[in-house]
Structure 1
Amino acid sequence: MRYKTNHTASAPSKVRRVKPAEVRLGELMSAAEQLFLAKGVDSTTINEIVELAQVAKGTFYHYFASKNELLAAMGERYTAQFLQRLEEKIETCQADDWLGRLCVWIQESIKAYADTYRLHDIVYTNHHHHNRSNREKNAILAQLQLILENGTRVGVWQIAEPRITSLLIYAGVHGVTDDIIASPETDREHFIRVVLADCLRMVGVSER
């Protein structure tokens, strides 16, 4: 004789998936970026940011004490993305092609800055630019300096002070790119070729 059991299959309980902290941070910063670009920092409220990011307001304050702290984090993310964009282009060159890597660094620096200057201006406030030891600038300089040091090591050029030359190229590239941002009708490709030629003369080589 078979006996019926009273056991019934229970429905699987719903497990609430908690997003990793880096995902929530990314969502908050992406929402803020969208709103800051559309409305400006001062006109954007924290309520609007959390609503667009679809997180609780308490989540915002778990990570940031204020919009200023959020902006600082966005600045770090901007620099990381900028560096990654340059690195990906640099890595298309042969490992020992230091002239090619320098050319790519200069060309892509102009393009990346011109493409993202509005976000750059939002996350890099005036006081940031006057911080002479800011780590974001130093991270970009270190990338360029490594190229110059290795090029000197293998004899592509002779640079006595790679750090100083890096500062000159960095400041020059950044400064001249403001010119094409202010004059969008400028022929960008021609502009990049001229800047590249001038930077290469600075290190004593001709454009390839």
Structure 2
Amino acid sequence: MSSQSQIASAKTRQRRTKPAEVRIDELMNAAQTLFLEKGVEATTISEIIASVGVAKGTFYHYFESKQHIIEALKKRYIDYFIEALDQAVAQCDPEDWVSQFKVWVSANIQTYLDSYPVHDIVFGVHHHERKNNEKNMVVEQLLGILTGGEQAGIWRLEQPHLTALLIYCGVHGVADEAIANQLKDISDFSEHIAQQYLNMLRAE
């Protein structure tokens, strides 16, 4: 091969080479799209790599299996969910614990409604995990609000962590109800749910 051919070949390889984080995102996005369209079981690794236009070796360079890419999608979903709640609550007055609680409930329901198809893919439609990082992180997030409100004298909690866990499970239950009933505008719905919980917390 001539020097010019070698240089041209090297340039071609360079153009095709992408940073690892870009290639990983491409593979994950392709997998998520196919999982949503066809289901996890019906989607093959060959279809994922064909969608991205890479060799099978590229897939296995970043992911050990289809289950491994599902785990990566799960982590990305958890990060997205937590960030959405953080951003919503951050808009509130840091000393207004009632508003923070209401916004947390509303953002939780809205984010879940916006993303439940992906949620069902990464966790399974009827998932039951005793060690669930998403649940633990969201419960801790809520626990911070409940603890702040208790310290401010707004409500009294005998078992803060258990209270946060019960609210978390209840919010996801009513969110599933909203999905089942194809509820589009959840503003009044979320406000009502939050107020019911505030009544239970004996908010002033």
Where on the TM-score scale, by shorter chain, does this alignment land: which range? 0.7 to 0.9
Corresponding residue number in structure 1 for 2:89: 90
Listed one character per residue, the Cα deviations across residues 84-114 of structure 1 (whole Å, up to 9, x for unaligned) are 1111111111222222111111001001111
Any residues of structure 2 matched to 1:1-208 within 5 Å, and which?
14=11, 16=14, 18-125=17-124, 129-185=127-183, 188-205=186-203
Q: Is the 8 A contact 2:109 2:171 kept in 1?
A: yes
Structure 1's consecutive aligned runs of 4 or more residues displaced over 6 angstroms after TM superposition are none
Aligned amino acid, residue 164 of structure 1: L
Tell me: higher relative CO, structure 1 or 2? Use CA pairs within 8 A at least 6 residues apart.
2
Aligned residues with identical type, % of pairs: 45
Q: Is the 8 A contact 2:82 2:138 kept in 1?
A: yes
Q: 1:24 to 1:75 in 2, by over 3 A?
A: same
For 1:61 and 1:202, the matched residues in 2 are separated by 51
For 1:53 and 1:142, the matched residues in 2 are separated by 37
Residue 149 (structure 1) shift = 1.2
TM-score by length of 2: 0.86
TM-score by length of 1: 0.85
Classify the secondary structure of the residue corresponding to 1:79: helix
Q: Which runs of 5+ in 1 are unaligned?
A: 1-10
For 1:136 and 1:20, the matched residues in 2 are separated by 28
For 2:182 and 2:202, the matched residues in 1 are separated by 31
Q: Which runs of 5+ in 2 are unaligned?
A: 1-6
Q: Is the 8 A contact 2:102 2:191 kept in 1?
A: no
| Structure 1 vs Structure 2 CA RMSD | 2.2
Aligned amino acid, residue 76 of structure 1: K
For 2:184 and 2:88, the matched residues in 1 are separated by 24
